Amino acid sequence: MNKVGKTSTIFLVVFSILLLSLTAISIFFFQKEREMRKDTQAKLETSEQEGAKMSEQLEVSVAKNTLFEERLKEADEKINGLLDDVDLEKALKEEIKKENLVLKTDVDSLSEEKNQFQEEAIALREKTSLLDQELSASKDLRKELTEKLKEREERIKSLEEGTEQTKVELDKIVITPGDVAESVATRKEVIDELPQVIEGQILKVNNENNFVIINLGQTSNLQDDAVVEIYRGKSLLGEARVTRVQATMSVVDILPPLLASKLKVNDKVVVK
């Protein structure tokens, strides 16, 4: 065998060995590739399944998110409605407060008017009472004056009758006009010199304000600040001072230590 044949044989042997090695390596890599493809396919299928599950979960999440958004929207609407109700309630409360203030002002005004009306009514009642008392006192005074006039007329009549009888019996007595005039003037002077006593009675007693109303007034020449004495029978009870004089009656304040509560209607009043 020559060198070329040996070299070719060695080359063929080496080539065969290399070819077998490459074939073995290729088969090894092919198997590894198949295994890797199977693993990758399995992983891909698993990934696809997980992706499907995740898609389902995503759809469920989207549905839940949509539901939550709807509920959130409803909650926002309810909150807005409640806020509107609160604002409306606040506005109503403010209006009610204003109306209450107006009503309170009206009530206070009405109360003041009522109090003023009551005071005016009380004043009118007192004035009416005073007028009634004045009217009653005027009637009593008129009746008293009428009776006194009647008594004087009867007295004059009796005096005239007595004068006629005396004139018949005293024909022998001579009386000059000068003597008669002098006698009349003397009697007049004596009467004028006698003190004129002004007497009256208590018409009404006011215990709260410690004053009385008497039946003496301007017609009796009673003056303001005049001091009067008050009697019951012949007993002196105390003194009082005139504070307001009217036509036929006057208001008299009781002076200490006397009190109006100790006085009665018809007690006698004498002007000092």
Domains of the chain are 198-272 (2.40.10.340)
How do the pLDDT tens digits run along the chain, 272 residues long? Answer: 566 677 878 888 888 888 888 888 888 888 888 888 888 888 888 878 887 888 888 888 888 888 878 888 888 888 888 888 788 888 888 888 888 788 888 778 777 777 776 777 676 677 666 666 666 666 666 676 677 667 767 766 766 665 555 444 444 444 444 443 444 344 444 334 444 678 999 999 999 999 999 999 999 999 999 999 999 999 999 999 999 999 999 999 999 999 999 999 999 999 98
Q: What pTM, to 2 d.p., does this model score? A: 0.34
The encoded tokens of residue 251 equal 């208001």
With tokens 């036929």, the residue in question is 248
- Reference 267, options 216, 233, 225, 227; nearest CA is 233
End-to-end CA distance of the chain: 196
For position 131, what pLDDT does the model report? 64
For position 215, what pLDDT does the model report? 95
The encoded tokens of residue 28 equal 């090894």
For position 36, what pLDDT does the model report? 85
